[in-house]
Amino acid sequence: MDYSVLHRSSSSFARVSSILTQHGSILTPAFVPVCTTGSPKCVPMSAVDDFDLVFSNTYHLLVHPGANTVAELGGIHSFTSRSKPFITDSGGFQVFSLKYTGGRDELKGRTNKPKQKNMVSKIDEDGVHFRSYRDGRQLFLSPEASISAQHQIGADLIVAFDELPPYGLTQKRLQRSFDRTHRWMKRSLDFHNSSAHTSTQRLYGIVHGETNMGLRLESLRFLLQHNFPGIAIGGSVGQTRKEMYSLICGMRSLLPSDRPVHLLGIGDLQSIVPLIQCGVDSLDSTYPTKAGRHGTALLTPSVDWLISHSLENSLVSATLDEPAAGRLNELHLVLSKAEHQQSAEPIDETCTCPVCLRYSRGYLHHLLKMHESAGQSLVTLHNLHIMRNTMETIRHLIRDNKL
């Protein structure tokens, strides 16, 4: 993986960069759509053809169809008929979701069986023993098993295996989890470096430490000391937007200038500009597809809106109780509301996506109220178009030193 900075903003830590992989280059800052099981929700894989990078989940691909099957079918690119780059996570997030939430946040809707208890049977230094949410069979993930599965899946960018503790642990429990996750990341790196995959797959280490700035900086130094090719920011980054901005802003002076930085799991319209100004190159999120499935359409943020939501302004305006992500604002249109029933307008008059060029708000409202899957798909397609164009605008503003 070759990483090169094409332009550094004189106004912030934002940068326009290029990540070169064997399946093409990734222009950053980049929004990364989530294709959990090898497809975005509600729309075909072709819907993300215009995105340089997409994100798939090792855990879900391990459960079905299995990493071996993906490998036998030529790897994730051949399996999904996508020629551009992929990134896969380690499976740690989903496994520990089973432990701490019973899987309700991550796995709901995947099976018609009653919710099963005790999905995780054992966590020790070796790894995690758990049961498949599909058929109950016993599975095991360790640093070595996770990296081996990601080697078989064949993504261009892969992620070290980590422990994801719940928010609000005592300092003692947080430190214990912190120490183990760094031992696991070192084992991930050692296993990867001993393989034949180092030239085709690049490994990201994950910055952990919850909202403890001292631990976050210690974690980042650990990853840089061990020369992980990429840096990911994971774990809880706070429960409020102000807490999130302050935490990532506090790390920006140590974030590397010679390798990419990825933020795991956050990428809503209101957050992306401040996070990019902290030095983040790429962000993955289910945000546009999940909103689309629930009938919420995104609107194009203007240049003035993007500039007004800079890091400096956001740190001042974010309230102490504002959620870190997910609150609706003026860039969200809830199409299921009755006010759109007789509207002949497109979702967004400035948008050039096929949905806005052809369909009215009134028609989309009708599809959503009748629970037609086509309505969810059309709004999702529109939302992905908005995210792609917004990132293009942001890159232009960085080149002009306006962000």
Active site residues: 89, 284
Quick count: other Cβ atoms within 10 Å of Cβ 59? 27
What tokens appear for 185 in the block?
Answer: 């990341």
Residue 269: partners with Cβ closer than 8 Å, 6 or more residues away:
287, 298, 301, 329, 331, 387, 390
Single-letter code of the amino acid located at 300: T
Q: Residue 395 has which token pair?
A: 């890159």
The 3-class SS string of 113-166 reads CCCCCCCEEEECCCCEEEECCCCCCEEEECHHHHHHHHHHHCCCEEECCCCCCC
d(CA 61, CA 340): 39
Radius of gyration from C-alpha coordinates of the chain: 21
Q: Distance of alpha carbon 292 from its chain centroid, rounded?
A: 17
* 285 neighbors 31 (Cβ within 8 angstroms): yes
Instruction: Please answer whether residues 261 and 281 qualify as being in contact, where contact means their C-beta atoms are separated by less than 8 angstroms.
Output: yes
Instruction: Give the C-alpha separation, 364 to 347, whole Å.
Output: 9
